[in-house]
Structure 1
Amino acid sequence: MNERAPYTGLDRADWLATADRLLAALRPWASADHATITPPGEPGGYGTRVDGLEGFARSFMGAAFRIAGTDDATSAELAEWYAEGIAAGVDPRNPGRWVRPGEHDQAKVEAAALALGLHLTRSRIWDRLDERTRGRLVDYLAELVGARIPPINWVWFRIVAQTFLRSVGGPWSEADLDHDLAVHESFVRADGWFADGPERSFDHYAGWALHFYPVIWLEMARGDERAEELREHYLARLDAFLPQAAALVGADGGPLIQGRSLTYRFAAAAPFWAGAIAGSTALTPGELRRAASGVLHHFLAHGVPDEHGLLPLGWHGAWRPIAQRYSGPGSPYWAFKGMAGLALPADHPVWTAAEEPLPVERGDIATAMPAPGWLVAGTRSDGIVRVVNHGTDHGQEGVLVTDSPLYARLGYSTATSPVLSAPGWEEPLDAAASLLDPQGRASHRAGFRTLALGTTGDACHGFSIGPAHWVVPTPGQPDHGSGRSGEVTVGPDVLVGSIVRGPWEVRLVRVEEGFAGALRVTGWPVAPGGVTSLVVDLGGLPESGVFTLPDATPLSATTRIPWRASAGAVQEGRWYVAGVLLAAAGRTAEPPVVDVVGDHVAVTWADGAKSQVDLPEVRHGS
């Protein structure tokens, strides 16, 4: 047994070997001058030239982490190889030059990876470039000065690029910096969380972008008055976030399968490395190491990278439907963010400490995370972490669109994937509580309002309400994670509540007006013979069945989703109750007993424990 890695078996040498394998596998897909790297696969939505820039810039960032932290022959060779590519990429006479930030917005994203890589390898690459190439690089990055930047995590691409420019005497804008830092502040939510923009967009971007880049910037701008003023605030938010991020990692290292850009895979380890870089004390070095190595180990154990050493668009293996419109064959290499720890030397405490257990390995988890509106239930017995969602939809309250399966489902976990094939975008099939219209179409819930979220003893609970609605989407909308707008038909308000403990969710549903159709409650989407998913009737849901879908998630060729439904028309004001189970393969558990009495609900769990939760007061039709 590896004494420093008793849980994952991964030491720093294993991390280096993985990075080297990934970098070496890209070489055959590089242009002769090394300026672009275009891995195999269907071109992305922005074209092959952008794909080639992504492949270079994102892998350069990964190479830079290695070069910064390890002085060996491999690092020296990497520095020389990427320096040649940089010179060719900024050469205006080169037909294969890089797409410029002024030509395509995606180049603004990649500029940050280039700037970060140049900062980390300053003595090995930047200082050795000839004056003409350095001037061309400055001109390239300077196209971000005063440029249009969307008010999402992209502000950090300009901050990082301009901070590097400033450090080498290039142009930069204090007005841009003021603007971008102010936009970042608009993302701040409770308990160290960030929303990626003005919508209720809570996902891995909170960690791999909105905590990662501030820490990187503080290092890049160390000593700068503005950075030092903000250091305490930024690090306090990171400290608040990290224990929650660790609680969302399964015992097998699996990250939560929720949100956009999932193809970045082990980039989910980035906030833990940010904690190590920042010297955070919210988690010990052994806890940070365990979380980061756990995430990497999860993917290594599931065949990542593939047999060619590549990261195709997908989760474990290749699965193209996981991609957004902006995703191309070079996009998955943002995974290198999850290898930022390689920039830390071998004698850093995060590498010398022994791994310590994850929260779900220390005991069951039952906690509410108010910012994203999540109820988190982790079970030590099977290592699964579940999220029951009453606050996230990648939208805004009252805006009626289709439910994005990446954000608006009631349930996400480290062991299941929402249905991400076309049927899952058309209507909520998994982890939902829907009304069925005369054509049998399920209603959507995006735009709901969160009513309550809390913890009582060793259970947690949440309630949300919103109008059931059906949408005929307008064709041709971009896929950036949001639900789709279109022609809307509005039905009655639906109040949904959850009481969560261990592997069970007690799901309560009340329709505020009578409705001619049925209510349907669906469970977790699982592979046949995989983890166990059940929905049991605890009141008013006698009908049952199972959906069976082909190629619906990146986890299995077939997906099964259990459901329960009312026997006909829904009664106004009645509480319908289901028990929703997700447990390890082959395991079942006795469902709880539920009594709705007046203004509260009482739950008696199979082990005899009891929970009592007050029901929210909602005006009829509100």
Structure 2
Amino acid sequence: MTAVEDRRLSPYTGWTREHYAALADRLLAAAGRHRSPAGARIDLPGPASRNGRVSDGLEGFARTFLIAGFRVAGEGGADPGGVLEHYARGLAAGTDPASPEAWPRPDELGQAKVEAASIALVLQLTRPWLWDRLDDVVRERVVAWLATVIGQPYPPINWVWFRIVVESFLREAGGPWSAADIEEDLAVHASLRRPGGWLSDGDERAYDHYTGWALHLYPLLWTHLFDVTGTLCPGSLRHRWGADLREYLDDAVRLVGSDGSPLLQGRSLVYRFAAAAPFWAGALTGTSHLSPGLTRRVAGGMVRHFGAPGDLLSLGWHHAWPAMRQAYSGPGSPYWAAKGLLGLALPAHHPVWTDVEEPLPIETGDVARVVTAPGWLVSGRRRDGIALVVNHGTDHARPGDPRADAPLYARLGYSTATVPPRGFVPDNTVVVLDAGGRASHRAGFSTCYATELPGGVLAAASQGRVRWVDTAGDDSPDHGSGRSGPVVPGPVLTVASVVRWGVEVRLARLDGAPAGPVRLSGWPVSHATRPVTEPGVAAARTPQLRSRVRPLRGFTTADVAVETGTSPLGEWTAIPYVATEGPPGAVLAAIVVLDRGGPDEPDPSLAIAEDGHGGHRVTLTWPDGVTAEAALPAAAS
């Protein structure tokens, strides 16, 4: 039976707990049709990952096991679909070395380290209804398989939590574990903490959804589900993590559009509504300051945004899009979206299900916020419902890194309505063109500042030496960073952004050796049909979106690049841009806008002055009298 929308309880989405439960049941039923004979693998259709089909089958098992675990836990052990029995069979076969469906061990295959954590987490969550009812021989085999994580090397990123979770389960199951491993992994987690409750997924400036669906999720679930009191996790650490999550969620709730879309930025976007996981984790562990009604609105809105998917989750966004695959992506990978259904572990009488939905911040007013750690200016207008960030601090690199830009990290802008296309003209950039028309790269830049000015004006700037990189010979696995290759260095580029009313004034200056023309591009808009453009105007429009770049200073040409087959959001993509005809003058400026139409905001006037130290001060004055000053700092020596 199809659940009926309830617009009294859920005035924004219409969805109740029954809708999420029905979605979980559909996903489990569809995946279950691809279960291997002994139940140890979910062999989903699609191209294999670099780890091979056996690993992909384990991934399908472990990630759908999350859905089953949340579903049964929220029902207090009731399992009318009998899903735990299927997974019990799979556990018995997968951990049996003599079985033709034996799983690769975590000490044999890195991906098994990831999936082991999902298995251990669900075994702990559903312990009375599954683990405690397994045969002793099966429990011994599961412990032996999980125990191969002990002492193994783990990359110093979110992966350390996979070992913490597994060894914590082993500890409570009476198996072997290593206090030294957990202490080492907790030290890595501490090194990833950044201001404002944010965490970087490694020592690079890798800010993305892993902050929420991994680096906040696992610590909070660890302290909630496992007995880690005392030396493993002193109370002060638990309080710190809770405070980190609260600060992070206060930012993250502003990074969701009114249509429920999460920000399209960073790697592993095929996990889709897994971005809802930290909101549910806050409710489940009692650490969130968001009200239950707002929690359901933001987390549930993300789940609902992807609608009622077909039988299977594909490698893509709303539908299959093979170009979104990364080296580690297999047919089972999208089922990490299961984390976005964590709320089902909360019983039906919990306030997150019974309270009335409350509006998102972008549904009650315009949003303007500086997020220091990733160097983001977060902005959005209520009339458009699009959350966007202007980026001056994230590139999945370190300052001075010589690699090419990673499109999902190093662009100047990301939003809930656009995604960087895989075409020839990069969106949201300021680039220098060489003699062959190649665009320069900016990854490895340094953040100069990110601040809020009087009048609700946001400002940020970044600077670094651009370069041209020949990446043709780099066939390394795609894990988010930019590609490597022979480098031709270019001039120092300083870019500043001033944002008001959701509109960016983008400023740029080049210092150093003579360079070619400069091109400044805006937001990419995609649709099933060709966007509307005009000759000589840097503007494009679809039925839902409008992207414009208006030159203010130094640019002499305007155009739109139109491409096909380069975006998961539509067959056609248009990117407006302005350019200089040759090497530019001192300071360039343009207005960059993404909206859904409506009246244009008035442009500010510019007054530019040298600061006496090799830099410039730019004063912007809007017709209503609001004035803001932004700096283009002198080029670093």
Alignment TM class, shorter chain as reference: over 0.9
What TM-score do the two structures reach when normalised by structure 1?
Answer: 0.95
What residue in structure 2 maps to residue 448 of structure 1? Answer: 445
What residue in structure 2 maps to residue 239 of structure 1? Answer: 246
The counterpart of 1:345, out of the listed 324, 344, 347, is 347
User: What letter matches 1:160 in structure 2?
Assistant: V
The counterpart of 1:384, out of the listed 364, 376, 386, is 386
User: What letter matches 1:584 in structure 2?
Assistant: R
Are 2:565 and 1:551 equivalent residues in the alignment? yes
Matched residue SS, 1:407: helix
What residue in structure 1 maps to residue 127 of structure 2? Answer: 122
Cα pair 1:535 1:581 within 8 Å, conserved:
yes
Cα pair 1:532 1:587 within 8 Å, conserved:
no
Distance in 1 between residues matched to 2:627 and 2:301, nearest whole Å: 33
**Taking structure 1 as reference, are residues 587 and 22 closer, same or farther at Cα in structure 2, changes over 3 Å only?**
farther
Distance in 1 between residues matched to 2:600 and 2:565, nearest whole Å: 26
Matched residue SS, 2:388: strand
- Deviates most, 512-521 or 231-240: 512-521
Cα pair 1:514 1:570 within 8 Å, conserved:
no
Are 2:174 and 1:169 equivalent residues in the alignment? yes
The counterpart of 1:581, out of the listed 593, 596, 606, is 593
**Taking structure 1 as reference, are residues 343 and 73 closer, same or farther at Cα in structure 2, changes over 3 Å only?**
closer
Listed one character per residue, the Cα deviations across residues 365-398 of structure 1 (whole Å, up to 9, x for unaligned) are: 1111110000111110110011000000000001
Cα pair 2:451 2:460 within 8 Å, conserved:
yes
- Deviates most, 473-482 or 205-214: 473-482
How many residue pairs match? The answer is: 608
Are 2:626 and 1:610 equivalent residues in the alignment? yes
The counterpart of 1:59, out of the listed 59, 64, 76, is 64
Cα pair 1:67 1:75 within 8 Å, conserved:
no
Distance in 1 between residues matched to 2:625 and 2:547, nearest whole Å: 22
Distance in 1 between residues matched to 2:608 and 2:305, nearest whole Å: 41
Distance in 2 between residues matched to 1:282 and 1:73, nearest whole Å: 30
Listed one character per residue, the Cα deviations across residues 332-353 of structure 1 (whole Å, up to 9, x for unaligned) are: 0000001111111111121121
Cα pair 2:283 2:292 within 8 Å, conserved:
yes
Matches within 5 A, 1:517-532: 517-527=516-526, 528=531, 529=542, 530-532=544-546
What residue in structure 2 maps to residue 485 of structure 1? Answer: 484
Distance in 2 between residues matched to 1:8 and 1:621, nearest whole Å: 50
Distance in 1 between residues matched to 2:70 and 2:597, nearest whole Å: 39
Distance in 1 between residues matched to 2:26 and 2:573, nearest whole Å: 33
Matches within 5 A, 1:207-218: 207-218=212-223
Matches within 5 A, 1:29-178: 29-71=34-76, 74-75=79-80, 77-178=82-183
User: How far did 1:75 drift?
Assistant: 4.7
Cα pair 2:495 2:632 within 8 Å, conserved:
no
Distance in 1 between residues matched to 2:262 and 2:443, nearest whole Å: 24
Cα pair 1:402 1:485 within 8 Å, conserved:
yes
What residue in structure 1 maps to residue 459 of structure 2? Answer: 461
Listed one character per residue, the Cα deviations across residues 505-557 of structure 1 (whole Å, up to 9, x for unaligned) are: 10000001352410100000102214100111100112111111111111010
Matches within 5 A, 1:253-268: 253-268=260-275
What TM-score do the two structures reach when normalised by structure 2?
Answer: 0.93
What residue in structure 2 maps to residue 316 of structure 1? Answer: 318
Distance in 2 between residues matched to 1:244 and 1:166, nearest whole Å: 35
Gaps of 5+ in 1: none
Listed one character per residue, the Cα deviations across residues 465-492 of structure 1 (whole Å, up to 9, x for unaligned) are: 0001000123212100100111111111
User: What letter matches 2:576 in structure 1?
Assistant: P
Cα RMSD of the aligned pairs, angstroms, is 1.5
Distance in 1 between residues matched to 2:568 and 2:449, nearest whole Å: 33
Cα pair 2:117 2:165 within 8 Å, conserved:
yes
Distance in 1 between residues matched to 2:434 and 2:451, nearest whole Å: 33
Distance in 1 between residues matched to 2:309 and 2:564, nearest whole Å: 24
Matched residue SS, 1:227: coil
User: What letter matches 1:231 in structure 2?
Assistant: R
Matched residue SS, 2:149: coil
What residue in structure 1 maps to residue 582 of structure 2? Answer: 568
Matched residue SS, 2:508: strand
**Taking structure 1 as reference, are residues 120 and 72 closer, same or farther at Cα in structure 2, changes over 3 Å only?**
closer
What residue in structure 1 maps to residue 211 of structure 2? Answer: 206
- Deviates most, 330-339 or 349-358: 349-358
What residue in structure 1 maps to residue 296 of structure 2? Answer: 289
User: How far did 1:71 drift?
Assistant: 4.2
Identity, % of aligned pairs? 50
What residue in structure 2 maps to residue 431 of structure 1? Answer: 428
Listed one character per residue, the Cα deviations across residues 251-271 of structure 1 (whole Å, up to 9, x for unaligned) are: 111100000000000000001
Distance in 1 between residues matched to 2:288 and 2:317, nearest whole Å: 31
Cα pair 2:245 2:288 within 8 Å, conserved:
no
Cα pair 2:205 2:396 within 8 Å, conserved:
yes
Matched residue SS, 2:282: helix
Distance in 2 between residues matched to 1:110 and 1:587, nearest whole Å: 50
User: What letter matches 2:258 in structure 1?
Assistant: A
What residue in structure 2 maps to residue 593 of structure 1? Answer: 605
Distance in 2 between residues matched to 1:33 and 1:379, nearest whole Å: 53
Distance in 1 between residues matched to 2:317 and 2:589, nearest whole Å: 34
User: What letter matches 1:484 in structure 2?
Assistant: R
User: How far did 1:591 drift?
Assistant: 3.5
